[in-house]
Amino acid sequence: MKRPTTPAAVLSAPAAAVDLPAEPSADQVDQADPSATAPTRVPRPRADAVRNRERILVAAREVLVEQGAAAPFDEIARRAGVGNATLYRHFPDRAALVHHVVLFVMDRVTVQAEDSLVEESDAFAALCRFTHAAADERIGALCPMLAGDFDHEHPELIAAREALAEAVEKLVDAGQGAGLVRTDIGVGDLMIALSQLSRPLPGITCMDVDGFVHRHLQLFLDGLRAPARSELPGEAATLEDLRQKTM
């Protein structure tokens, strides 16, 4: 049996041309869009580092309330349960530590205001819950820390201050709008009283001041109830008044 023959035309036909992509020139490589390259992964901080940072901020908040902005770093590190090297690794100097403690306190107080308004059906109950919670967050620590050469116009501080002001104003507006809070007080009145009543006075650190804070705050809150039983001297204080004095 004969094997089938392949036509000569087929054998002699040239192979079909295939267009291969040209190698990029050196100039083309240099001019490549950087966004086309694989993104660089930003390393996440270790869980223990995050915990240490928060422990330092909590300890610093307590010590600064008691001893002021000049409190020794050794005491802060001791209360946080970390070494001095760890403290300085997170906060290289006093200005950095105070800055971040202020932000830490303001952010947490803002969350307390927002949660109180959302989770409490009664506007006055929301105001009371926020006030007591803000005292527990040591909002009284802010005033002594905001003195001296503190950078009041730092963008992070401005953002935190505006968020706090908005949250607390909504609380007070809700109480006044419901007819539960007297209308002759402002947000500044609330924040000044809260700061003063939650900060221990100099020279009485031996007393259990915390045992009196919430008692005195409740007395103050009862005085905010509507209808007002007296006429207040002066004008209602706003947060802008407070900012000009302290923030």
Cβ(124)–Cβ(180) below 8 Å: yes
Extract the tokens encoding 30.
């240099």
SS3 225: strand
The pLDDT of residue 14: 45
How many whole angstroms separate alpha carbon 144 and alpha carbon 179?
35
The pLDDT of residue 6: 46
For 7, half-sphere exposure in the C-beta direction (CA atoms, 13 angstrom radius) is 3
How many whole angstroms separate alpha carbon 191 and alpha carbon 239?
8
pLDDT tens, N- to C-terminus, the chain (247 residues): 444 454 444 444 444 444 444 555 545 544 555 444 555 565 566 778 889 999 999 999 988 888 877 889 999 999 999 999 999 999 999 999 999 999 999 999 999 999 999 999 999 999 999 999 999 998 877 776 777 677 888 999 999 999 999 999 999 999 999 999 999 999 999 998 998 888 766 555 545 666 788 999 999 999 999 998 888 888 888 777 766 655 5
How many whole angstroms separate alpha carbon 189 and alpha carbon 241?
10
From residue 41, give the alpha-carbon distance in Å to each of 38, 44, 153.
9, 9, 32
Longest dimension (CA), the chain: 124
The pLDDT of residue 200: 66
The pLDDT of residue 46: 74
From residue 64, give the alpha-carbon distance in Å to each of 71, 140, 208, 234.
6, 10, 17, 32
From residue 123, give the alpha-carbon distance in Å to each of 111, 119, 171, 216.
16, 10, 7, 20
User: E strand or H helix at 36, and its extent?
Assistant: none
The pLDDT of residue 166: 95
The pLDDT of residue 163: 95
Any idea which residue has 């905010």 for tokens?
224
